[in-house]
Structure 1
Amino acid sequence: MNKLKTTSLICLLILLSNFSIGQTSDTLIIKNNSDRNWWAGIIGLGQLMPLQKDIDVNTYGKGFGNQIQPLLLSDQGDVIWSESPLHIILKSGQLTVTSKDKIIHSDGHQNLKGAYLHASNTYFPPSGKTPDEILFTSPQYNTWIELMYDQNQKDILKYAHAIKNNDYPAGVLMIDDNWQEDYGKWNFHEGRFDDPKAMMDELHDMGFKVMLWVCPFVSPDCDVYRALDKKGYFIKDKSGQTAMIRWWNGVSAVLDLSNPDAKKWFRDELQRLVDEYGVDGFKLDAGDARFYTGDLDLNGLTPNDHSKLYGEIGLDFPLNEYRAMWKMGGQPLAERLHDKNHSWEHLNMLIPQMLVEGIMGYPFSCPDLIGGGQYISFIDGAIIDQELIVRSAQCHALMPMMQFSVAPWRVLDAEHLQAVSRSIEIRQQHKDYILALARQAAKTGEPIMRPMEYNFPNQGFVNVVDQFMLGEDILVAPVVEKGARKRMVQLPKGKWETHSGKVVRGGKSLEFDVALDELLYFKKR
């Protein structure tokens, strides 16, 4: 074959990869992107979507603190998928996607909704199951901000009783890190828990379901490490030695969950806690792909694959929560956003990140902790912004899940505390609708919380990321700006009933007064 023919063939292949339906390759280039808006499966960067600026991100061994899917969707009906991590470059109007595996690009799915439903049905079909339904019907309470590393029986019960004494409904109570004897030694610490079974019984009698924090790490200083190391249950480095992984709580070994025996050991440890103490479920933390990078022997898998193996543990426990995940769309796993700072900037990330979560196949999602989950925001004389906690609670109220950690009754005055209580009332009024959407998501894959563009394609809502649809019928427009007492809402065409019962006509932007204790939402008439 001469050079001219070779060059022509290469050009033809590039052209086909750009425009053919179903074309596969390991590099995809799409030029002249001005007519398309893209969403990528990087939940931790959801505030950048639809992609507005040049971007260069590689998801190999990197999850940006949250869930990942090897997926891109466009508002013109494009779907880009690979079974392996994607390297995504958007520059000067050209989209370049590379992967070590085949990249499948299909188009013609009309709009964002059509593209998502094709991706869901093709690559991560819904399982038909939801996580434990209490995650949707009641608020969740995490002990982290109040107790941090001093998890103990006395203060956990004190926190639980305070929830009830303040007339908050019982729900899931998550006992966070450091309840255990050591990392990998999953026993209640005897110095902090006098009678853990009695504690569990008391919490159950109060109406709570209880989750325990766990991780895939094992401290090298404990006897469990020595026993498991002899059995070869840990990730090794290239020299064949057990690898020591640096994470936020020091340096530890990490379970090799590609080893069926190691996976069984971990699952059995969790089941023992269920059987012996009546634990209802687990917050499975620290499964980030980044912990499996470096000079490691991964048995031919990617770091992301090891994150997925950790995710599979949760399938055995319907009451679960994850923060990091890879390629587990459509599964009955509760996915939480990465810890946010106690700041208005981070509050503004909640809606766009949650919206991307839904259209990437993770409908059972939780928007971090009310007021922020970064403990450093609440220590060393930190100033608490009471209004921020109120507006954060209102954001959570009509999202798929609602989770507290900092105790509102401890940090708020009467006015702000009443406003938070009002957000819980709104949640309780809509819990049956939210649960119905969760059950629908389990069957159809459709998000519970949806971008405006998803429900109303090609009507000018592409860049509206400060309001959202709850299912088909409820539009939610929280206040996310400090001091705001007015809010512009972009209403689609038709009649909409406000939260106060007034009927307004859409098809335009309208400004509404919003008191401190108000959450704007509208029902389609």
Structure 2
Amino acid sequence: MKKIILFFILLVTSVWTEAQTTTEITLLPKEKWWGGFTALGYMMPYQPSKRTFNLRTENFNNQSTPVLISNQGRFITATKPFAYQFTDDKLIITSSEKIGVEKQGNTLRSAYKGAFQLKLGSELTPPELFFTHPQYNTWIELTYNQNERDVLAYAQAIVDNAMPTGIIMIDDNWQKDYGVWQFSADKFPTPKAMIAKLHEMGFKVMLWVCPFVSADSEQYRFLKRKGYLIKKKGSQNPAIISWWNGYSACYDLSNPEAFAYLVNELKMLQKEYGVDGFKFDAGDPQFYSDDVIEVFDKQSYDVLQTQLWAKLGMEFAYNEFRACWQMGNLPLVQRLGDKSYSWGGVARLIPDMIAAGLNGYAYTCPDMIGGGEYRSFENIDPDKFDQKLIVRSCQIHAMMPMMQFSVAPWRILSKENLDICIKFAKWHEQLGEYIVGEAIKAAKTGDPIVRSMEYAFPHQGFEDCKDQYMLGDTYLVAPIITASDTRSVRLPKGVWQDDQGKRYKGGKTYTITAGLERLPYFVKVR
């Protein structure tokens, strides 16, 4: 693993201060493009627009990578972030390095293989438990009131409702201060015993962490003396950075001593309490602009600091990231950025998961069931929850590489609808061996686990399809993503059999109706 980390450290080591040049690439007839940002999957394939996307200054709350690929076998790769825009007939790229178009084959799949060929052949995947069992995150239920009593109650409810146990993630505000990774004594009086109890119940335990440090903590003063914090530009004092939880200092991970110190802090936490791993939040590139900060190595700004945060996570088998840069095909668990509790949020799960795969991030979880944007759940009468939305979201998760609950289905669903969610959690568990097999293939070949229809069945008219996908080689999944129980499904050539045993001739579009208890999927029989 250390050799792989060193390879990526050597791969990207330049500052972004070189002169920018613009390259115009003429689009081919019927050519469509994907890539760049995971969170723009719903906009892919890209359409002509006046908007310019900048990989250096944006990440849209999710992963990114300097790669664009087309369904005509063409691809663009870079080592540094670039800006890009699609017009009616051109792709315009502005970059500090020479950009050219390469070609391999004439499909989206061949373009993807060409773009990521340097990152293939790994044998490393995240632990199997991520793929075989559900994850449970305490965020939506507890938000900033993480506490021992309610965490144990949440876990006990999972067991009492006969849901499969798996990984439980204790989210933000379990700690004394940001950067002080010790349990808050008033909220967690016996944390070691709590984690032992969670293990006894069948869970692995992960804790939320971030690279920020509370500026009024004793730890801040220690890290300042050691020179482990990012500095304000033109000053020897730490920069105080605005982020969603206020204003904080931040670890400078370009300083090898700071990097090693934080790794050791987290490993000591594991040793002291029995913690299995960490949810690595934040790390977004917009916090690290060289306009306002200075870093130890004088070059790791913007996305490079994001990348260092992910490299730190490589030290821990149980990890999860939302922001990432260029770390595809490595054993890092990714999650889609927070989606709203809405049908619009549900509809974005498939295209964004497809985009994650095409950016090289195969080991991705589609956010949290029902949405991870906690404000969407505020001030909602529990009796007025859109139960159908929660169930349909759960169904999509069930046939994804990973599924993650947060809002408690036993609290907001009727017994009938809760039973449906439990059924699909167990269906995901039954698919576990298959999904693990696809994860191993992804490590070796680079093929995404969640694949666009165009990737799997090139030039059959699927280039604009955003509401169905392939889960590995076998399952064509066509979930219900609206309040209606009816949708259209376009099947590739061949003969297909659905989840109820009915056969269809491929190369056609069908209208199907699926009650709330059903998740439509198809398997090719010949």
TM-score bin, normalised by smaller chain: over 0.9
Given that 1:184 and 1:216 are in contact with CA atoms closer than 8 Å, whether structure 2 keeps it comes out as yes
CA distance in 1, matches of 2:25, 2:238: 43
CA distance in 2, matches of 1:104, 1:304: 22
CA distance in 1, matches of 2:318, 2:452: 27
Q: Does 1:226 align with 2:221?
A: yes
Shift of 1:359: 1.2
Moved more, 230-239 or 291-300: 291-300
Match of 1:379 in 2: 378
SS in 2 for 1:316: coil
CA distance in 2, matches of 1:48, 1:86: 18
Given candidates 102, 125, 130, the residue that maps to 2:125 is 130
TM-score by length of 1: 0.93
Q: Does 1:185 align with 2:180?
A: yes
Given that 1:422 and 1:517 are in contact with CA atoms closer than 8 Å, whether structure 2 keeps it comes out as no
Given that 2:80 and 2:97 are in contact with CA atoms closer than 8 Å, whether structure 1 keeps it comes out as yes
Question: Structure 1 residues 348 and 64, CA, compared in 2 at 3 Å: closer, same or farther?
Answer: same
SS in 1 for 2:346: helix
* Correspondences of 1:65-144 after superposition (within 5 Å): 65-122=61-118, 124-144=119-139
Query: In the TM superposition, what whole-angstrom CA distance separates every residue of 1:397-428 from its partner, at most 9, and x where no partner exists?
Result: 11111000000000011222122122213212
CA distance in 2, matches of 1:32, 1:317: 43
Given that 1:126 and 1:330 are in contact with CA atoms closer than 8 Å, whether structure 2 keeps it comes out as no
Question: Structure 1 residues 500 and 344, CA, compared in 2 at 3 Å: closer, same or farther?
Answer: same
SS in 2 for 1:103: coil
Match of 2:429 in 1: 428
CA distance in 2, matches of 1:40, 1:361: 9
Match of 1:301 in 2: 300
Match of 2:342 in 1: 343
| Structure 1, unpaired ranges of 5+ | 1-24
Identical residues among aligned pairs (%): 47
Instruction: Give aligned pairs, total.
Output: 499
Given that 1:126 and 1:331 are in contact with CA atoms closer than 8 Å, whether structure 2 keeps it comes out as no
Given that 2:47 and 2:86 are in contact with CA atoms closer than 8 Å, whether structure 1 keeps it comes out as no
CA distance in 1, matches of 2:43, 2:407: 28
Given that 1:235 and 1:242 are in contact with CA atoms closer than 8 Å, whether structure 2 keeps it comes out as yes
CA distance in 2, matches of 1:167, 1:132: 23
Given that 2:39 and 2:355 are in contact with CA atoms closer than 8 Å, whether structure 1 keeps it comes out as no
Given that 2:135 and 2:169 are in contact with CA atoms closer than 8 Å, whether structure 1 keeps it comes out as yes
Match of 1:395 in 2: 396
Question: Structure 1 residues 32 and 280, CA, compared in 2 at 3 Å: closer, same or farther?
Answer: closer
Match of 2:311 in 1: 312
Query: In the TM superposition, what whole-angstrom CA distance separates every residue of 1:107-134 from its partner, at most 9, and x where no partner exists?
Result: 1422100011111213x33532111111
CA distance in 1, matches of 2:302, 2:511: 48
SS in 1 for 2:58: coil
Shift of 1:32: 4.2
Given that 1:33 and 1:95 are in contact with CA atoms closer than 8 Å, whether structure 2 keeps it comes out as no
Given that 2:103 and 2:114 are in contact with CA atoms closer than 8 Å, whether structure 1 keeps it comes out as no
Given that 1:289 and 1:306 are in contact with CA atoms closer than 8 Å, whether structure 2 keeps it comes out as yes
| Structure 2, unpaired ranges of 5+ | 1-19
Given that 1:418 and 1:517 are in contact with CA atoms closer than 8 Å, whether structure 2 keeps it comes out as no
TM-score by length of 2: 0.93
* Correspondences of 1:141-180 after superposition (within 5 Å): 141-180=136-175
SS in 2 for 1:101: coil
Query: RMSD over aligned Cα, in angstroms?
Result: 1.3
Q: Does 1:447 align with 2:448?
A: yes
Shift of 1:513: 1.9
CA distance in 2, matches of 1:70, 1:32: 19
| Paired letter, 1:185 | V
Shift of 1:33: 4.2
Given that 1:184 and 1:217 are in contact with CA atoms closer than 8 Å, whether structure 2 keeps it comes out as yes
SS in 2 for 1:80: strand
Given that 1:82 and 1:104 are in contact with CA atoms closer than 8 Å, whether structure 2 keeps it comes out as no
CA distance in 2, matches of 1:306, 1:485: 45
Shift of 1:313: 0.9
CA distance in 2, matches of 1:466, 1:372: 18
